[in-house]
Amino acid sequence: MNVQLFDSTLRDGMQSEGLSLSVEDKLKITRLLDGFGIHFIEGGYPGSNPKDVEFFERAKSVTFRHAKLTAFGMTRKAGGRAETDPILAAMVAAETPVVAVVGKTWTMHVTKIVGTTLDENLAMIADSVAFLKKQGREVVYDCEHFFDGFRADREYALATIKAAASAGADWVAMCDTNGGSLPGDIREVVGVVRQTIPTKLGIHTHNDCDVAVANAFAGIEAGCEQVQGTMNGWGERCGNANLISVIAGLQLKMGRPCVPEENLARLTDLSRSVSEIANIRPRAHAPYVGSSAFAHKGGMHVAAVEKIPASYEHIVPERVGNRRHIVVSELSGRGNVRMRASELGIEVQGSERTVLDRIKELESQGYQFEAAEGSFELLSRRSQPGYVPPFEVLDVVVISERRRGNSMFAEATVKLRIGEEVVHTVAEGTGPVHALDSAFHKALNPNFPLVRDIRLADYKVRILDPEAATRAKTRVLIESARGEERWSTIGVSQNIIEASAAALADALELPLARVATPAFQKSPEGALATG
């Protein structure tokens, strides 16, 4: 039986600390989710704020191919009438084919938080569902705090879902709102509900015990046909069930289709695209779609993966649009070097041991090639027979000074050998690294035009042995960019200027090494000959 996916990113996910989406952002994400094959998209709470009112108004012009847009709201107020309730009226005005209405299950919430009677709460549920059904809407009834309510008063919790079912709810979704349940609890309670009402069931779990996805699976195994969650698990406190992981698990592990098979290969792109819109850095270690999800670092593991990938991978990465990533560090074996170099288009067959020994030697000094793959690539290229560096650093001098009360400035002098020529340049900068970068560019730009487009995108410093105080060894990581291309290089020294100069030199040598012929040549125009 197919499982229906109910995405609540634009409503429940918006409660995630630090997450804010504009109306335009919400519309972009809506189109992505619809194109991927999500069945329900909960767009927000139209009665709560102007942004959601505008979203639902603009969403009326969106043509949906797969999804049913859903408006969220609450049951009528205690002592009121559904026909005159402003929240229910706003849900209807949103003109969505589906509405999700939430009501109270837990006796404590009914009597202490809402401040009404248990009987009135049942009437609130029934009246609200019946009213929305009369408006021609498909109704998803969300039982808030259902599992806590079931533990506190089993009979009353079941009475609330009976009230919704009898009033015509199309779905009854059980919510683990506080996220305090475990899979065994979910499975047992859903089984009881399955025997109590004939209505289709949904499961809505939160991640406060770090088992939201497992709880969602438990609910599905027990009979739920709809699973609610958010993209990348965003949500209040510890988040909601991560629909990205749920989709992959349903389709690949449980044999429960939920999206078209061909769309599954777009799962990684979906996760990262939504993150990009939300301006949230994707989590590297996220299951299935993280950049580290199929990363292999241990030498023994990589040796096995090189022979049989399934020996250390639970699925083929490409099934979800991801890829294998070989990490190189002091824990590596020759296979790490060979496979990672091969990914970069470099043949190191026969020189793996030389490269590996050099990596281990440098990492013992504080280098970290896992964080500086540009420097690893350069090591691999330098190991190739006949490699000639495009330039050689002969001298580096950096002076920082303050003259006659003016602001401090820096001046860098670099002397490079380029082919048979020695180039000596001086440049000023707002700081020593800026001056160094300018001096390197001043020396290299006339000989290598592509260097003109390279810029320093990020600069990070870490003190490796702080107990040594001002004599501490410093690790400098530099991220460089040329258009959309990015690479990171590293330098380590007790002298931060020396570490910076080493990282900068590598950053500028790498793109030249990628296009260099086996032997250095200059074209008549002064550009590097590419052969």
- Residue 36 makes CB contacts below 8 A (sequence gap 6+) with 66, 259, 263, 266, 270
Instruction: Calculate mean pLDDT across residues 199-209.
Output: 98
Per the domain annotation, does 282 fall within a domain? no
- Using 50, 70 and 90 to split pLDDT, how confident is the model at 27? very high
Per the domain annotation, does 218 fall within a domain? yes
Per the domain annotation, does 284 fall within a domain? no
Q: Which pLDDT value is given to residue 33? A: 97
Instruction: Calculate mean pLDDT across residues 203-213.
Output: 98
Q: Which of 37-41, 97-101, 415-419, 458-462 has the lowest mean pLDDT?
A: 458-462
- Nearest 5°: the CA angle 209, 212, 215 is 105
Q: Which pLDDT value is given to residue 262? A: 93
Q: What is the CA radius of gyration of the chain?
A: 30
Residue 455 and residue 15: Cα distance in Å, rounded?
38
Instruction: Calculate mean pLDDT across residues 196-206.
Output: 98
Residue 295 and residue 460: Cα distance in Å, rounded?
23
Q: Which pLDDT value is given to residue 471? A: 73
Q: Residue 233 corresponds to which amino acid?
A: G
Q: Are residues 196 and 60 in the same domain?
A: yes
Instruction: Calculate mean pLDDT across residues 295-300.
Output: 72
Q: Are residues 142 and 241 in the same domain?
A: yes
Instruction: Calculate mean pLDDT across residues 396-401.
Output: 92
φ/ψ region of 223 (left if φ > 0, alpha if ψ in -120 to 50, else beta) reads left
Q: Which pLDDT value is given to residue 101? A: 98
By three-state DSSP, how is residue 12 classified?
Answer: coil
By three-state DSSP, how is residue 196 classified?
Answer: helix
Which H or E run contains 462?
A: strand 455-463
DSSP per position, 271-315: HHHHHHHHT-PPPTT-TTTSTTTTEE-SHHHHHHHHH-GGGS-SS
Q: Residue 117 corresponds to which amino acid?
A: T
Query: At residue 528, does pLDDT exceed 90?
Result: no
Per the domain annotation, does 268 fall within a domain? no
Q: Which pLDDT value is given to residue 328? A: 62
The one-character DSSP state at 259 is S
Strands 455-463 and 4-7: unpaired
Structural domains counted in the chain:
3
Instruction: Calculate mean pLDDT across residues 88-96.
Output: 97
Instruction: Calculate mean pLDDT across residues 125-146.
Output: 98
For residue 185, the enclosing domain spans 4-259
The neighbour count for residue 96, using CB atoms within 10 Å, is: 24
- Using 50, 70 and 90 to split pLDDT, how confident is the model at 521? very low
Q: Which pLDDT value is given to residue 527? A: 38
Q: Which of 135-139, 229-233, 409-413, 437-441 has the lowest mean pLDDT?
A: 409-413
Q: Are residues 252 and 346 in the same domain?
A: no
- Of the candidates 165, 92, 173, the one whose C-alpha atom is nearest the C-alpha of residue 134 is 92
Residue 443 and residue 415: Cα distance in Å, rounded?
8
Q: Are residues 421 and 370 in the same domain?
A: no
Q: Are residues 252 and 323 in the same domain?
A: no
Matching residue, tokens 């949904």: 202
Q: Are residues 368 and 407 in the same domain?
A: no
Q: Are residues 363 and 404 in the same domain?
A: no
Q: Are residues 176 and 95 in the same domain?
A: yes
Using the CB atoms, write b or e for 341-356: b if 16+ within 10 Å. beeeebebeebbeebb
Q: Per DSSP, what are the bridge partners of residue 493?
A: 474
φ/ψ region of 493 (left if φ > 0, alpha if ψ in -120 to 50, else beta) reads beta
Query: At residue 147, does pLDDT exceed 70?
Result: yes
- Using 50, 70 and 90 to split pLDDT, how confident is the model at 335? low
- Using 50, 70 and 90 to split pLDDT, how confident is the model at 466? confident
Tens digit of pLDDT for each residue in 43-66?
999 978 899 999 999 999 999 999
Instruction: Calculate mean pLDDT across residues 165-170.
Output: 98
Query: Is 286 or 326 the better-scoring residue by pLDDT?
Result: 286
Q: Which pLDDT value is given to residue 186? A: 98
DSSP per position, 14-40: GGSTT----HHHHHHHHHHHHHHT-SE
DSSP H stretches of helix in 415-495: 432-444
The pLDDT mean for the chain works out to 89
**CATH number of the CATH domain containing 46:** 3.20.20.70
Highest mean pLDDT, choosing among 278-287, 295-304, 470-479: 278-287
Q: Are residues 410 and 451 in the same domain?
A: yes
Per the domain annotation, does 34 fall within a domain? yes
The one-character DSSP state at 82 is G
Residue 416 and residue 424: Cα distance in Å, rounded?
7
Q: Are residues 354 and 447 in the same domain?
A: no
Domain boundary (212, 236, 259) is at 259
Q: Are residues 250 and 305 in the same domain?
A: no
Tens digit of pLDDT for each residue in 98-113?
999 999 999 999 999 9
**Percentage of the chain surpassing pLDDT 90?**
70
Q: By the 8 A CB rule, do 75 and 124 touch? A: yes
Residue 526 and residue 503: Cα distance in Å, rounded?
25
Q: Give the side-chain half-sphere CA count within 13 A for 494.
A: 6
Per the domain annotation, does 289 fall within a domain? no
Q: Are residues 191 and 333 in the same domain?
A: no
Q: By the 8 A CB rule, do 70 and 56 touch? A: no
Per the domain annotation, does 444 fall within a domain? yes
Q: Which pLDDT value is given to residue 264? A: 96
Instruction: Calculate mean pLDDT across residues 441-469.
Output: 89
Per the domain annotation, does 531 fall within a domain? no
Tokens of 60: 């009326």
